[in-house]
Amino acid sequence: MLPELVVSEDDEQQFVLPWSEEPWPATWQEVERTFRTTDHRRSLLSLASSRLFELQAAGIPIYAAWINGSFVTAREHPNDIDVVVLIDGDRSAASREATGLSPAAWLDATHVLRNARYERGGTAADHRSDFRFVTFYAEEARWTATAQDELDHWFTVWSRLEVGPRDRSGRGKMVEDAKGFVEVRW
């Protein structure tokens, strides 16, 4: 169950999920109940859900989706919904085999989906969803360290909160371990 949003200790103007050592686990329905408070937010959730189902339909084994950004705050009109898709590398071969495609054909067929940061038609300047992808493997796999480094990177970045006045580059001060984010198992 998702916790109530709290006033940030570092910026009293922001309501955020409390910081946690792990992402806050939630079902998609809990995310909808908590954050689908306006038509705009409903639209962002619908877009993210559609993208996740499209990945799944293509045979990409999604383990979980981490959801963050202004979407998981009390901001009435968030710019977009930020998602890190955790792909289960151990299930990738079985998922590919289920499609009947050769490894090369499956990689070609899913490449665009697995690397599409923004929705179709979205650009860095004009997008509504921002997806990143991390493929992870069981501990004994040779890629485990790389995947763990990526997960640690996203956890660190997504636990930060931008506060205070912005400098000339347009950025405020970044505070570590200042907010939480959501994990939805897929």
Task: Give tens-digit pLDDT for 10-60.
Answer: 777 788 899 999 999 999 999 999 999 999 999 999 999 999 999 988 888
Mean pLDDT, the chain, whole residue set: 87
Quick check: 60 and 101 in contact, CB under 8 A? no
Closest CA relative to residue 12, chosen from 156, 164, 182, 159: 164
pTM above 0.75, yes or no: yes
Tell me, what's the pLDDT at 78?
A: 93
Tell me, what's the pLDDT at 92?
A: 81
Mean pLDDT throughout 112-119? Answer: 86
Residue with token string 């038509």: 39
Backbone φ and ψ for 48, nearest 5 degrees, come out as -60, -45
What's the token pair of residue 169? 């580059």
Backbone φ and ψ for 152, nearest 5 degrees, come out as -60, -40
Quick check: 130 and 69 in contact, CB under 8 A? yes
**Confidence class of residue 141 from pLDDT cuts 50, 70 and 90?**
low
